[in-house]
Amino acid sequence: EALDAPTEWFLGTDGTLYLWAPGGADPSTLEVEAKARDYAFRGDGLRFVEISGFHFFACTFTLTNSEHCVVEDCHLRFPSFARGVPEAAERPRRSAGTRISGDDNTIRRCSLAYCGTFGIQVKGRRNVVEDCPIHDVNWSGTLHYVAIQLTGDKDDEKASNTARHNTIYNVGNTIITSS
């Protein structure tokens, strides 16, 4: 009953996916994409690793406790999501998203588009986010989700991370935070 307009879909309890295709087209003749995993790349304790030139759809990357890593020229569409609409006063639940933590890492010339929750979270020291177009972030408009969040590590009173030359637009609330 809820399918009342083209491009809407519904997953039945039996696992059947119902889709109202645009223009009344036969769905079997269309390219239909769906989320298969949260992360295309996931690393912990990496050093001197480069990730370059990938196109991510409905997934992202996360590097934890990493040093001197570079992610560049990658394009992410629908990298993060939220199940349901969060309450304004409710703390956000941990969800998949684009994160990097550690020291001396760089995210360069990577585009992020259609992030249901946050854009990029950076934690540690001397990390850089530069020349990245980021748009359509934080669909719920809550203060919890930010396009670029820069945070120091537990030994740093102030974050020494940098965001520069980024183009950010269509954000539901806060654009950049640094703490």
Q: Which residues 6+ apart lie within 8 Å of 162 measured at CB?
A: 126, 127, 128, 129, 130, 150
Which pLDDT value is given to residue 102? 95
Is residue 136 pLDDT above 70, yes or no?
Answer: yes
φ and ψ at 12, to 5 degrees?
-75, 160
pLDDT of residue 43: 96
DSSP 3-state assignment of 36?
coil
Q: Count of CB atoms within 10 A of residue 154's CB?
A: 6
Cβ-contact 91, 69 below 8 angstroms: no
Mean pLDDT of 113-129: 94
Say yes or no to pLDDT of 126 above 60.
yes
pTM as predicted: 0.82
